[in-house]
Amino acid sequence: MSWHHSTMYFFFGLVGVADILCFTIRSLPSSLPKLMFSNALFVEAFIFYNHTHGREMLDIFVHRLLVLVVFLTGLVTFMEFLLRNNVLLELLRSSLILLQGSWFWQIGFVLYPPSGAPAWNLMDHDNTMFLTICFCWHYALIFAFTSIYVVNYTYRSAYVESSLHLWDEAHLVMVNYFFDKHMN
């Protein structure tokens, strides 16, 4: 099992290396980390797909839902690599990553219940049906959270832009120029 985890960590580590290299070597394409991130997600999906050999029905089911989310995240990230600066794809990727994280928590509670909690029956079909609905509610809550964030961000951006005075805009340009000059 540890080789599975080590392989996933290695590919996500390559994302970090690509990010650092693109930051330090300006001649590298700035989209390289996106490509490496989608590659790491595809490797993660492949490993989780093959992670279920000899397991109980419910264990296989929750892992297959996780594979679905990870594969979709990799696909959306690859689309981001092809279609740069697409805010909708970035929001979709963010919501899928949040779904992956919350589903990891759910898997933890199903397969390894907290002390004192009753264990799940891993062969019961009703538990599978319940977790199907639970998965949908995870995404519904994440989608609602993301939507609230977008509305709040849009409202704040419109309010701040309209309330800036001419001298504030000049100050923002000076500060931006200062950081551009001294950070490069």
Burial 44-67 (b: 16+ CB within 10 A, else e): bbbbbeeebeeeeebbbbbbebbb
Q: What pLDDT is attached to residue 92? A: 94
- pLDDT band with cut points at 50, 70 and 90 for residue 154: confident
Provide the residue range defining the domain that includes 173.
Answer: 56-183
The mean pLDDT of 154-174, rounded to a whole number, is 59
Is residue 68 a part of any domain in this protein? yes
Domain count across the chain:
1
Is residue 161 a part of any domain in this protein? yes
Is residue 79 a part of any domain in this protein? yes
Is residue 152 a part of any domain in this protein? yes
Is residue 98 a part of any domain in this protein? yes
Is residue 39 a part of any domain in this protein? no
Q: What pLDDT is attached to residue 69? A: 97
Is residue 74 a part of any domain in this protein? yes
Is residue 36 a part of any domain in this protein? no
Shortest CA distance to 76 belongs to which of 60, 87, 66? 87
Q: What pLDDT is attached to residue 178? A: 47
- Tens-digit pLDDT profile for residues 71-122: 999 999 999 999 988 889 999 999 999 999 999 999 999 999 988 788 889 8
